[in-house]
Chains A and B, each alone.
Chain A
Amino acid sequence: MCQPEWRRARVQAQRLADLARLRRVRDRIDREYAQPLNVEALARDVNMSAGHLSRQFRAAYGESPYSYLMTRRIERATALLRRGDLSVTEVCFAVGCASLGTFTTRFTELVGMPPGAFRRQAAEAADQADAAGTTGGAGLSVTVEGMPACVAKQVTRPVRNREVPAAAQPLA
């Protein structure tokens, strides 16, 4: 005898367990983005096939795990480039990208300028800020001063599918 409400409860419990598994994958990407992660390994560790994980992840979070991973890497790259003491190639490898070409392409899509231009602009902004005796950062189109850090992190995070429109990209 299987009561319909028992069945519904079982299905919902399974759905919540599946979502929690996806959450662990996403958290692992956040934590280990600088490692040579790939979707096959992520999927294997939660006993899913790569295709199934990608579909389920996209359904839950609106983008594929690969896209989420690259966004996370680019986000960290902007922070490292702003520091000014690392080259673009060093930053590329520091955030776990094995290919400078893929890194540059994705960076440009998300940030609106290539990493080299971003680094130069950050250095200029830092010089100007030093001259003016204030702190500042390039590439930040929003003021984050006074915000709780986790909120600042969210509002400055590059967002997949909210890339800078092509027309706004500088020609250089």
Chain B
Amino acid sequence: MDITIHTSSLPHDDPDASLAFYRDVLGFEVRSDVGQGRMRWITVGPAGQPDTSILLAPPAADPGVTEDERRTITEMMAKGTYGWILLATPDLDATFEKVQAGDTEVVQEPIEQPYGIRDCAFRDPAGNLVRIQELR
């Protein structure tokens, strides 16, 4: 078997704000952008790595999601307990400075963790936790 992890998805609640974060702050390239209004599916990913993408998608777009479930999901996104992703970079400090300069909500400065890694964390505009760890 030859399987790659091709696309994983994160919810957005304001497509333009999420696009600005992943494109302008993290420096990802935009690979596709379909739909309109709040119903937009935007595929982004790091330049030079066409095999790995993040799909920024409207939450609870499946018609099988009930009104109550949709409300729960949007509330969890707002309170920051819903989506998260783990990214990595060889130069954590430079990355942290750049992302912080982009007026991003910081959750954790770069710190040495007891389980042997060094990482930092941010919120994306939709409330997803974006953790970035140092490659070493």
Please list the residues of chain A having a beta carbon within 8 angstroms of any beta carbon in chain B. 12, 15-17, 19-20, 22-24, 26-27, 30-31, 60-61, 78-79, 82-83, 135, 137, 144, 147-150, 152-153, 156
Contacts and interface: CB of A to CB of B under 8 A. Distances in A.
B97 to A, nearest CB: 15
**Most chain A CB neighbours (cut-off 10 Å) among B74, B84, B107, B115:** B115
B69 interface: no
A20 B125 CA distance: 10
Interface in B95-128: 105-109, 113-117, 119, 121, 123, 127
A158 to B, nearest CB: 13
B77 to A, nearest CB: 8
Nearest to B80: A23
Contacts of B119: 149-150
B80 A26 contact: yes
A116 to B, nearest CB: 18
Per DSSP, are chain A's interface residues mostly helix, strand or loop, or mixed?
Answer: helix
Given A12-B71, A16-B75, A149-B133, A27 B80 contact: yes
Contacts of A61: 79
B17 interface: no
Given A79-B113, A79-B114, A148-B86, A27 B75 contact: no
25 contacts: A12-B71, A12-B74, A17-B78, A19-B79, A23-B79, A26-B79, A26-B80, A27-B106, A27-B107, A30-B107, A30-B108, A31-B108, A61-B79, A78-B114, A82-B114, A144-B115, A147-B115, A149-B86, A149-B113, A149-B117, A149-B119, A149-B131, A149-B133, A150-B84, A152-B115
